[in-house]
Chain A
Amino acid sequence: EDNVSIGNEHVSVNFDENGFMSSITVHGETHSLKQNFLYYDGALGNNEEFRNRSSGAYIFRPNGTEKAVTDVVEIQVVKSDVVQEVHQIFNEWISQVIRVYAGQEHVELEWLVGPIPIDDGVGKEIISRFESDIKSDGAFWTDSNGREMLRRVRNYRETWNLDLVEPVSGNYYPVTAKIAIEDDQSRLAVLNDRAQGGSSLVDGQLELMVHRRLLRDDAFGVGEALNETQYGAGLVARGKHWLFFGSSQKDVSPTLQAKERFLQNKVLLPSWPFVNSADNLLTLDDF
């Protein structure tokens, strides 16, 4: 009956009465931080017209604004000394585990999306969106193939005057390792385990596209709709995001950015577990 919270001595994640992540507490300070899954309907266009093409493998063209997948999330909480987890079920095809390991300063989100339903004849592109109280003033940072972070400004290009006719996809950038926002006080960074599209469409927000299923070819060359199936159903994808929230002050040592960089190395080059059961003949003495 109480609101749920998981965490450790460094970071706690708090959930609201509907099961959504609602805030994060870092070193005693609590900040609003919501997370939800939403989707864009893929545009169905006339590929003969340049500005009216379908959303497909090469291009992301949402048809209208995003929609939340649910208002209420079913959750299960597991707490132990090693790890604390909240298992969320958003609907029949989206679920997530949010976890905090003992001693770690980041939050891990393991999402599972699919098979994306297409019974309504509409392709869908699914995003995970984070909403914070950070006053990011239109700016966000995305990595360049895991190397330096590049500053992006919403609805702006550095070298020409932009007339943006695609307000969502025109602000999407490739994210292969990290996307971040910050203001004078706080910083939010999300690391990913695979290349995804990402953006900050509203100040304080970050979003990453985790899965897509589209029913039309975009006429850019592949010649197929991005409608992958396995065992007769749409593809299921499972992956991880790692979230860091903390001070953006540069005189803190080590800075949050330094911690993010170490975590990036660890999650992208993790230890390799090898197992050996030897048909149950391995005794402790053998070990």
Chain B
Amino acid sequence: EAHLTALRDVMGVMQHHDAITGTEKQHVADDYARMLYEGFEACSANIRSVLNQLSGYREDGKFDWSYCKQANISACATTENADNTVVLLYNPLGYGSNDYVRLPVKDGQYSVLNDRGQTVPSTLVPIPSSVIDLPFRESEATHELVFQGEQVPPVGYKTYYVSKEESRDSSSTEMRQ
């Protein structure tokens, strides 16, 4: 409860018109960012605990769920450095969703399996050079693996198994001009 309240408190502060519109002084903007970050981190402990219980994983640090905080610059330490990744999609809506997922990865060949072991159509798209060249971006991801979540149930989740394979398929559907 304390973790959740940490973010609740921050969201209360963020109702101020300066936070909504961005008319706060810069040091206040920096402080807002710090508060939000700490709120996220507190809640992520709850999320991790819940997901570990749902998925039956041990809480020994090896099977910890995380989220990609740098997805907005197409970077994710977990997905770009792993050969095998389990992706869990949680749908917060009250009806089914079929959102597309974009995972930052290194170039290669990947397969995506759903919870029934069936292959899910996926593709590898290059990350634009303007993103890769951002001076503060520290990531080895050069591509994004794109696939569609299949009817993720309302307020529920689906999981996918993403694995990197040895060689790139020469019959890739990707075409560049």
* Chain A residues engaging chain B, CB cutoff 8 angstroms: 4, 57-58, 76-83, 85, 87, 89, 95, 97, 101-103, 112, 195, 220-224, 226, 228, 230-231, 233, 236, 238, 265-266, 269-284, 287
Contact = CB atoms under 8 A, between A and B. Distances in A.
A276 B88 contact: yes
Q: Would you call the interface of chain B mostly helix, strand, loop, or mixed?
A: mixed
Nearest to A80: B123
Contact of B173 (A80, A85, A89, A220): A80
Interface of B: 20-26, 29, 47, 51, 57, 62-68, 71-73, 76, 78-79, 81-93, 97, 99-101, 103, 113, 117, 121-123, 125-126, 128-131, 134-136, 146-149, 152, 159, 161, 163, 173-177
Among B47, B68, B85, which residue has the most Cβ atoms of chain A within 10 A?
A: B85
Contacts of A283: 84
Contacts of B62: 278-279, 281
B128 A112 contact: yes
A272 B103 contact: no
30 contacts: A57-B23, A76-B126, A78-B175, A82-B122, A82-B123, A95-B128, A101-B148, A195-B20, A224-B26, A266-B97, A266-B99, A269-B92, A270-B99, A271-B90, A271-B101, A272-B67, A273-B67, A273-B68, A275-B66, A275-B79, A276-B65, A276-B86, A276-B87, A276-B88, A277-B79, A277-B82, A278-B62, A280-B84, A283-B84, A284-B163
A4 B66 CA distance: 39
A89 B123 CA distance: 22
Which of B26, B47, B57, B90 has the most chain A CB within a 10 Å cutoff? B26
B43 to A, nearest CB: 11
Contact of A224 (B25, B65, B97, B130): B25
